[in-house]
Structure 1
Amino acid sequence: MRSIFASFVMLMSLCSSTQAQQLDPGSSPQRVIYATTEQQPEFPGGLAKLKEYIQKNLRYPSSAQKAMKEGTVFLNFIVSEKGTPEDVRVRMPVDPALDAEAIRLVQSMPNWTPAKIAGKSVACRYNLPIKFAL
């Protein structure tokens, strides 16, 4: 039987310290959400810990295993001013079971260090690809 291996492929963020801060298209006067910030949001412990969290907590759905489904689910979510992952959306779906598991994984994450502008915590949109491989 093939061993199951789910790994973190790469981490991409629209929040970048090298760009001027820009508002996200989903931003509104009631809720300001940035696409780019001075300091990007960070998973507790950084990228290495994010990769470790994904590898440890990802559960490959049995229906996807049986159907031999694999691929990379691209997610988009907001890291709130308090660091909470919110409004998790699938941007590039692969399979309903894999998509649902990727969403569950992000929704169960601990709070991040929020993005900052001029030292103030702000909400920022973040992109995260999650690879499922058998």
Structure 2
Amino acid sequence: MKQSAENKISKTRMILVLPLLVFLMFLTSSSTLPLSQEQAQNKTSALETEIQEPVYPGGKQKLYRFIATTVRYPLAAHNQKMVGYVVVQATINAEGKIGDFKMASPAPNIFQEEVIRVLKKMRTWSPATQGGAPISSTYLFPVHFTYKDANDETFSAEKPNLKALVKSVSSESDNPVYRADEILVVGYKQP
């Protein structure tokens, strides 16, 4: 008698749970139904417009390490205790080559030349892509040259409004625009 009561309870549970399982299976299978032609076209056009940022070999940390170890405070600027804030605009073409250097903000030529010297030494990047196809992009490199004297007093140039600068360059460029983080270069007074 005990067994038949347990069998009835078990069958009742099965009857109650079975419709719930069927409903859950329906829900999960409906999310994997084939896309309509319009939905497929919308998904394809979204992928075609998706733009991936260019990547320096090894990523941003390698980029910053390369710049930090390659850039030098120009000796003439150091001797004159000159400071400057340079923003160099460069194009990374569809082959990943960096070039077409322009000044995105005014700065003393001596600092501009140093930043461009360093950027010209860069390895080939993985270019930006749109829908998987390589495209040209514009990259801004802000470099701040400051000076620290023998008394530990720091002299620095006025920092430009980088957000406004990116917006301005974006409005003038057909390419997507990216910006590196600020790179700080400090010249020290030798005792």
Q: Taking structure 2 as the reference length, what is the TM-score of the superposition? A: 0.49
The CA RMSD over aligned residues, in Å, is: 1.6
Q: How far is the alpha carbon of 1:71 from its aligned partner?
A: 2.5
Alpha-carbon shift at residue 43 of structure 1 (Å): 1.1
Which of 96, 100, 109 is matched with 1:83 structurally?
Answer: 96
CA distance in 1, matches of 2:145, 2:59: 21
Residue in structure 2 matched with residue 123 of structure 1 by the alignment: 136
**How high is the sequence identity, in percent, across the aligned residues?**
28
Separation in 1, partners of 2:107, 2:52: 31
Q: Normalized per residue, which structure has more strand?
A: 1
Q: Taking CA–CA contacts closer than 8 Å with sequence separation of 6 or more, which of the two structures ends up with the larger relative contact order?
A: 1
Of Structure 1 and Structure 2, the greater helix share is in: 2
Match of 1:95 in 2: 108
3-state DSSP class of the match of 1:92?
A: coil
TM (norm. structure 1) is: 0.69
What's the offset of the Cα at 1:107? 1.2
Q: Distance in 2 between matches of 1:86 and 1:47?
A: 18
Aligned to 1:53: 66
Q: 1:14-41 deviations in whole A, cap 9, x for unaligned? A: xxxxxx96xxxxxxxxxxxxxxx61011
What secondary structure does 1:125 align onto?
strand
1:73 is paired with a residue whose SS is strand
Unpaired segments ≥5 residues, structure 1 = 1-19, 22-36
Give the whole-Å Cα distance in 2 for the aligned partners of 1:44 and 1:72: 26
Please give the alpha-carbon distance, in whole angstroms, between the structure 1 residues aligned to 2:51 and 2:104: 25
- In structure 2, how many angstroms separate the alpha carbons of the residues matched to 1:112 and 1:86? 11
